[in-house]
Amino acid sequence: MSFLRAWISGDGEEPAAESQAERGIAQLIDLSKQQSLADPAGPAPETSEPSSGPAPVSAAGDDTGHPIPEVQPRPRARAVWAGPVLVAVALGILGQAWVGYQGRITGYPSSVRWYGTLCLIFVPSAALIMSGRISDQARTWFTLFLSLALLATRFVLYPDQFVYHDELINYRVLLSIEQTRHLFTPNSLLPVTADYPGLAIATSAVHQLTGLSLHSSGMTILVVVRLIMTLSLVRITQRISGSVTLGCLAALIYATNPQYIYFNSQYSYQSIALPLCFFCVYVFTMERKAEGLLAVVPSAAVVLAVAASHHLSSLALIVVLWAWYLFTRITKRPVDQLLALAVISLLIVAIWTFMARAVIVPYISEIARNSITNIVNLLHGRSSHQFFTDTAGDHNPAWEVALSALSVLLIISTLVPALWHAFMKRRLLSAAAITLFVIAAMYPIIPVGHLTNATAEVSDRSSGFIYVGLAYLVAAWWFRSGAFHRHARADRFTVPRHTWLLVVGLTICFVGGTVIGSGPSWLFGPGRYLVSADNRSVDPLALQAAHWEGASLSPGNRVYTDRVNGLLAAVYGDQHVLTALGDRVDQGTVSTLLLRNPAPADVSVACRAGVHFLIADQRLATSLPHVGVYIDVGEYLSGMRTAPPDPGALTKFDNVRGAERIFDNGAIRIYDLRGLQCAGRS
């Protein structure tokens, strides 16, 4: 509650912090030294008083010869805007709920209202956080409040169930734990998820300890990990820079990353692993009381949790730790126990990956193969990828396209001078700061990756990591004091640092980044049914069929169907859905069961794949798929399709001898193929 007190009184440590922030990049002192300064008994990190000890540069000047001006502390101001901002954020959440409600009623959610209400949450909060009118503590808490409010927008759009592709896949892992009481039950939807059950374990624990439903427990975990992510980011940045304000700005910049609103808010295993990566670094940079290897036990425990949660996140953590260690060697400023943690982490991740090798290798290979194929097609001019247009032809509105392009330009135009600024002052950078510098320099991967479909997904996923470096570097640049160029005058090539300018820039990057990460407009919320459109394909008809399967069919039958009905059949129907990754079926051949007109080979295809039940959604014949495929990558006519399949392709088993039609709800028909006269079957 102390933050509330600080909020109201408006007192606290803001002037000192502001002064510290203004000293900017000159405060990039070594983490190990920063740790030694921390006073465990007092609120040292909150006060951000200028540290005495080893700060390398005084306020009087730096090694470039440019003076770093002393910033006069601002007069203390009461945080009169805190209350109204609090209500504005709540209204933003209400607006999001209204968008979802309208989407369900009218079938057409308004993207203008969606982004507008997101801005109602983001803009006032960002303005207040960067205004300097609240204490450091309040600033930190408000940054956390903003991040949780943005997460809440997902909950009010889909308050009662998981609907996105990755959410349903991970929900299947959770259901398996509840059913079998053990981990690592194979998940045919995406086999690799079964071997990284960290999210499902934590959710199951909350479910069992609190009595909440599985969905509510999942949302609880998402809230907790969002909290961990935000506060870790603020604290890590604060420890490197010595400024709470800079830490909060870094968290705001991080919130503009393309995956923040959409993917990293989903019930997906990366959503827990990424915050735990940040937490691992935070724990490691705490003042440690234990000596020797015991000192890294808490961090190693977090690494183990990361390793058990997500493959690429744990790999990224290892790379970061080793890069950090490498830079400590180069800068000759060692960090205690960093090598020990890097080695232990490498062992943990290597062992876990080795145990999961049967699923992780095919999975990564598949991603790599798709990405390479897409790049080769692009280089040969065969790419069918269209910017801001999904495969069914839905376009983002022009204003969304403009804002996303503007956001990329804005980020590049701040990142370049930020990188240059950091480069010019490289002798002052700690190893941790250099690591973030390198991570930030990888930003071009994100926009360039959008040249093809497969690489767009990979590059967007990487934004969760890249934006950590970018957020830190741009925040440090914003609070710079000297010119970013050694030979430039301090005020010539730099933009004035007005708070309103910062908030406008952040807002553009926030909206533009969300457009890039969320993709087409239909993806953000509920509305009328769309073909193969993940959340928009989960409708009462699809759910009715899936629940019927769960109630009427024995569990674990081999089922073949399209992408969304497959997810629902696995989750609510408890069926084993045939997939290329899970069952090594030839997708190009088996998908003809649903996507090709009747052919003599249909029976033999079904027999060879061992299909027990075929779920045919007639609506697939009404439109091209919105996510690029009806079933999965490599399906029949994948990448060459210009029209939806003929309706006859989906009803052909009505006339096949031995096939029974056992369910019909107007849209979805379920065929029992166990009676097919297969060659060699008695």
Question: Looking at beta carbons only, is 228 or 445 nearer to another protein?
Answer: 228
Count of CB atoms situated within 10 Å of the CB of 666? 9
9 near another protein, judged by CB under 8 A: yes
Q: What DSSP character marks residue 604? A: H
Distance of CA 659 to CAs 71, 546, 656, 673, Å? Answer: 80, 20, 6, 5
How near is the Cβ of 97 to another protein at its closest, in Å? 4
How near is the Cβ of 339 to another protein at its closest, in Å? 22
How near is the Cβ of 282 to another protein at its closest, in Å? 7
Determine which residue in the list 42, 53, 75, 381 makes contact with another protein, applying CB under 8 A. Answer: 42
Asked whether 482 and 62 are in contact (CB, 8 A), the reply is: yes
Segment contacting another protein by CB under 8 A, of 418-426, 447-455, 583-591, 653-661 = 653-661
* Alpha-helical regions (H) of 23-135: 31-37, 44-47, 82-106, 111-131
How near is the Cβ of 139 to another protein at its closest, in Å? 10
487 near another protein, judged by CB under 8 A: no
Asked whether 469 and 438 are in contact (CB, 8 A), the reply is: yes
Asked whether 305 and 313 are in contact (CB, 8 A), the reply is: no
Run of H or E residues at 614: strand 613-617
Distance CA 421, CA 265 (A): 33
Query: 90 to 109, contacts with another protein by CB under 8 A?
Result: 90-91, 93-94, 96-98, 100-101, 103-105
Residue 175 CB contacts under 8 Å (≥ 6 apart), including other chains: 214, 571, 574
11: left (phi over 0), alpha (psi -120 to 50) or beta: beta
124 near another protein, judged by CB under 8 A: no
Segment contacting another protein by CB under 8 A, of 27-35, 162-170, 199-207, 578-586 = 199-207
CA angle 181/184/187 to nearest 5° reads 105
Question: Looking at beta carbons only, is 464 or 526 nearer to another protein?
Answer: 526
Question: Looking at beta carbons only, is 68 or 276 nearer to another protein?
Answer: 276
Query: 155 to 174, contacts with another protein by CB under 8 A?
Result: 155-157, 159-160
37 near another protein, judged by CB under 8 A: no
204 near another protein, judged by CB under 8 A: yes
Give the three-class secondary structure for 672. strand
Q: What DSSP character marks residue 283? A: H
Run of H or E residues at 559: strand 558-560
How near is the Cβ of 69 to another protein at its closest, in Å? 29
- DSSP strand pairing (558-560 vs 576-577): parallel
Token digits for 589?
A: 């051949």
Determine which residue in the list 36, 58, 72, 208 makes contact with another protein, applying CB under 8 A. Answer: 208
Query: What x-and-dash track marks residues 503-542 binding another protein by CB under 8 A?
Result: -----------------------x------------xxx-
Segment contacting another protein by CB under 8 A, of 210-218, 256-264, 510-518, 623-631 = 210-218
Question: Looking at beta carbons only, is 35 or 383 nearer to another protein?
Answer: 35
380 near another protein, judged by CB under 8 A: no
580 near another protein, judged by CB under 8 A: no
How near is the Cβ of 83 to another protein at its closest, in Å? 3
Token digits for 555?
A: 């569990």
Residue whose tokens read 């430039």 = 488
36 near another protein, judged by CB under 8 A: no
Per-residue burial over 145-162, b if 16 or more Cβ lie within 10 Å, else e, is bbbebbbbbbbbbbeeeb
Query: 451 to 470, contacts with another protein by CB under 8 A?
Result: none
Determine which residue in the list 112, 205, 358, 416 makes contact with another protein, applying CB under 8 A. Answer: 205
Question: Looking at beta carbons only, is 9 or 36 nearer to another protein?
Answer: 9
Query: 256 to 285, contacts with another protein by CB under 8 A?
Result: 272, 276, 279, 282-283
Amino acid, single-letter form, for residue 132:
G
Question: Looking at beta carbons only, is 68 or 152 nearer to another protein?
Answer: 152
Query: 387 to 426, contacts with another protein by CB under 8 A?
Result: none
Segment contacting another protein by CB under 8 A, of 1-9, 120-128, 431-439, 475-483 = 1-9
Query: 224 to 243, contacts with another protein by CB under 8 A?
Result: 224-225, 227-228, 231-232, 234-235
Question: Looking at beta carbons only, is 531 or 659 nearer to another protein?
Answer: 659
Query: What x-and-dash track marks residues 286-315 binding another protein by CB under 8 A?
Result: x--------------xx-xx--xx------
How near is the Cβ of 265 to another protein at its closest, in Å? 15
Query: What x-and-dash track marks residues 537-556 binding another protein by CB under 8 A?
Result: --xxx--xx--x---x----
Asked whether 6 and 138 are in contact (CB, 8 A), the reply is: yes
Segment contacting another protein by CB under 8 A, of 133-141, 581-589, 591-599, 643-651 = 133-141
31 near another protein, judged by CB under 8 A: no
Count of CB atoms situated within 10 Å of the CB of 343? 14
How near is the Cβ of 364 to another protein at its closest, in Å? 23
339 near another protein, judged by CB under 8 A: no
Determine which residue in the list 60, 181, 487, 680 makes contact with another protein, applying CB under 8 A. Answer: 181
584 near another protein, judged by CB under 8 A: no
Count of CB atoms situated within 10 Å of the CB of 413? 12
118 near another protein, judged by CB under 8 A: no
209 near another protein, judged by CB under 8 A: yes
Residue 82 CB contacts under 8 Å (≥ 6 apart), including other chains: 7, 8, 128, 134, 138, 142
Token digits for 575?
A: 């069926």
How near is the Cβ of 634 to another protein at its closest, in Å? 31
How near is the Cβ of 670 to another protein at its closest, in Å? 8
Q: What are phi and psi of 661, to 5 degrees?
A: -100, 110
Distance CA 30, CA 429 (A): 8
How near is the Cβ of 204 to another protein at its closest, in Å? 6
Asked whether 363 and 191 are in contact (CB, 8 A), the reply is: yes
122 near another protein, judged by CB under 8 A: no
CA proximity to 208, closest of 183, 177, 187, 172: 177
CA angle 226/231/236 to nearest 5° reads 130
249 near another protein, judged by CB under 8 A: no
Segment contacting another protein by CB under 8 A, of 177-185, 403-411, 424-432, 605-613 = 177-185
Q: How many residues bind another protein (CB under 8 A)?
A: 105
Segment contacting another protein by CB under 8 A, of 149-157, 325-333, 413-421, 643-651 = 149-157
Q: What are phi and psi of 663, to 5 degrees?
A: -150, 140
Q: What DSSP character marks residue 437? A: H
Distance CA 167, CA 574 (A): 16
617 near another protein, judged by CB under 8 A: no
Q: What are phi and psi of 389, to 5 degrees?
A: -140, 130
Q: What DSSP character marks residue 395? A: B
How far, rounded to the nearest angstrom, does the alpha carbon of residue 79 sit from its chain's CA centroid?
Answer: 32
Torsion 495-498-500-506 (CA) sign = positive
